[in-house]
Structure 1
C-alpha cells in the first residue's frame, strides 16, 4: 500500500481532498492531505512574505516531521509548482509524483508565466484592489471557466467551493521556481489528465509533448479541473491503479 501526500491547488486546503482521501483509505492506503501556508485553516499564518519557497518548505517539512517513506506526492493545479520544487529536494523518501491536471515546473518558471500578459495584469489589479496587495481572491466561476473546465461540478459543489475557498498568497504566483527541481530520474512519474489537459495534449503543445512518453505514465479522467470535488471516487480509483 502507498503513502499519499495530497497537495491542493490555489485557494483550497486539505478539505478539498476529503472524499478522495476517504476512498483511498478504503483501498488500504495511508492518506495525508496537506494545507499550505496562508490558505484555508492556515490563512492567518500567511502574509506578504508568503511565496513559492514557503510552500515548498511546507511540503518538505511535512514529510520530514512525519518521517514519511515511499511517498506518493500528488499535485493538483497550482500545486505543481511547489511539488516540483519539493520533488527535487526530498530525496530517497519520494517514490512517486502525480500531477493532476497539471505538469511539472522547470527552474525559472512561475505561475504567471502560464497565462497571457493581459490575464496576469488583471490578477495584479485584483490583488491591489481586493487583496491588500498580497492576496489573490478566487475569481468568480464565469472567469474561472474561461481557462479551467468546470465540468462535473454541480451547484452544491460550486457553492461549497465558493464558501470554503480562501485568497491565495500572491507571492506564490510571482516568485520563480529555483532549483533543484524534480522529479529526479529515480522517481515514478504519473499524469492524471482531465478535460483541460487532454485538450492541451491533443493540441500538440510542444512544451508538454514529453508527458506522452516514458517515463511518464498517463491516466485520463473524464471530468473537469477539480476532480477531487467532481469525481472523487474515480480519482481515487485512478490513483490506486497508478500505485498498484
Structure 2
C-alpha cells in the first residue's frame, strides 16, 4: 500500500480525481485528493484570493498532519507548480512525481508565463472585465474530451473561477530540485496540448532519470482514461514504472 496525493489544476477541485481515486483505493492505496483553498469543496474560501503559496501550504500541511512519508504526488496542469515546490520543500518525504499534462516550471516562472501571449492576454483581460481582476473565468477551461453530454455537463457544472494571484506568483524551485525524487514521470495528452507542455515533455524525455509517456486523449486523462491514469500512478507507487 502506498500513500498517494492527487493534486488538481486550474478551475477544478478534488472531485476531478474521483474516478482515479476510487480505482487506487480499491487497489489498497491510501489516497488523498485535497482541494486548494477557494476551489472545489473549499469554494466558500474564494474571498481569500489565495496565491500560489497558499495552495502549496494546502498540500504541505496535508502531508505533515497526515504524517505521510515516501509519498507519491500526481499533479494535473497548474498543480505541477505546486508539486515542484512540495518536492523541493519536503525532499525526504516525496518518492514519486507524476506530471499529468502538468506544468514543469523553471525557477522564476508563473503559470501565466507558460501560456501563449494571445491566451495570456485573453484570460487576463477577461479576469479584469468579468471578475474584477481577482479570478480567471472558468469558461477558459480546456476541452475535456468527454463524449457523453450529460457527463460533461456534470463536470462543467462543478468548475469555478480560479484565483488569479496563484497563477501570477512565480515558483522559487524548479525541475532541477526534483533530482532526489526516485521516480519521475511526465505524461502528455496527444490531443490539443499546449506548446509549452510539449516542450516540457521533450525535456523530460531527454533526461535519464525521467519517464516520458503519451496518452491518446485530451487535457483531462483522469476523466477520459481513468484506468490507464490509475495504472500509471500505481506503477510509480509499486516501483514497476
The TM-score, its normalising length taken from structure 2, stands at 0.88
Hey, what does 2:11 align to over in structure 1?
11
Q: Please tell me the root mean square deviation across aligned C-alpha atoms, in Å.
A: 2.4
1:209 and 2:194 matched: no
The within-5 A match list for 1:1-244 is 1-47=1-47, 49-139=49-139, 144-145=142-143, 150-179=144-173, 183-187=177-181, 188-196=183-191, 205=199, 208-212=201-205, 213-244=207-238
C-alpha deviation, 1:197, in angstroms? 8.4
Deviation string 1:173-195 (CA, Å, 9 cap, x unpaired) is 11111247764322021122222
> Are the aligned partners of 1:198 and 1:220 in contact in 2 as well (CA < 8 Å)?
no
Aligned residues: 236
Deviation string 1:153-188 (CA, Å, 9 cap, x unpaired) is 432232112100011100111111124776432202
Unaligned runs of 5+ in 2: none
Task: Measure, in 2, the Cα distance between the counterparts of 1:211 and 1:193.
Answer: 11
Task: Measure, in 2, the Cα distance between the counterparts of 1:199 and 1:116.
Answer: 8
The TM-score, its normalising length taken from structure 1, stands at 0.87
C-alpha deviation, 1:18, in angstroms? 0.9
> Are the aligned partners of 2:105 and 2:174 in contact in 1 as well (CA < 8 Å)?
no
> Are the aligned partners of 2:74 and 2:233 in contact in 1 as well (CA < 8 Å)?
no
Task: Measure, in 2, the Cα distance between the counterparts of 1:202 and 1:10.
Answer: 15
Change beyond 3 A, Cα 1:140–1:105: closer
* Moved segments of 4+, more than 2 Å: 46-49, 150-154, 179-184, 196-203, 207-210, 218-222, 241-244
SS of match in other structure, 1:88: helix
SS of match in other structure, 1:47: helix
C-alpha deviation, 1:91, in angstroms? 2.2
Change beyond 3 A, Cα 1:56–1:199: closer
Change beyond 3 A, Cα 1:31–1:215: same
C-alpha deviation, 1:19, in angstroms? 1.2
> Are the aligned partners of 1:47 and 1:134 in contact in 2 as well (CA < 8 Å)?
no
Task: Measure, in 2, the Cα distance between the counterparts of 1:45 and 1:198.
Answer: 31
